[in-house]
Amino acid sequence: MRYRLTFAAGLAVGYVLGTRAGRERYERLRQTAQRFAANPAVRNATDSAAQTGREAASKAAGVVTDRFGHRLPGPVNERVRSIRDQRHASARDGWGSSSV
């Protein structure tokens, strides 16, 4: 599914950039894309994907710190630890993610 969506997006961008249909066709395509992006199902899917990505990144940061923390340079280790601490704090406050 991801490859189909990527292909469709590439096809749309290629058409818009390569077309000689004029401004009217461009505006129709832009409006269609805006309606698609405003669709609640699409927004829910993107929010869900973003949340899953944040969770995976948080888990990966924890694994990296646990396994390789002693080998990482000090500033990198501190940054990973601060990100991990922020994730744990947001999970404890009951509000979920800190993104808007």
pTM of the predicted structure, to 2 decimals:
0.48
Q: How far apart are CA 31 and CA 35, in angstroms?
A: 6
From residue 31, alpha-carbon distances to 22, 38, 53, 58 in Å are 15, 10, 29, 36
Torsion angle of C-alpha atoms 38, 42, 44, 47, degrees rounded to 10 = -90
67-82 pLDDT, tens digit per residue, is 776 777 888 777 777 7
Q: How far apart are CA 76 and CA 73, in angstroms?
A: 5
Q: How far apart are CA 79 and CA 53, in angstroms?
A: 18
8-46 pLDDT, tens digit per residue, is 888 888 877 776 667 777 788 889 999 998 999 999 999
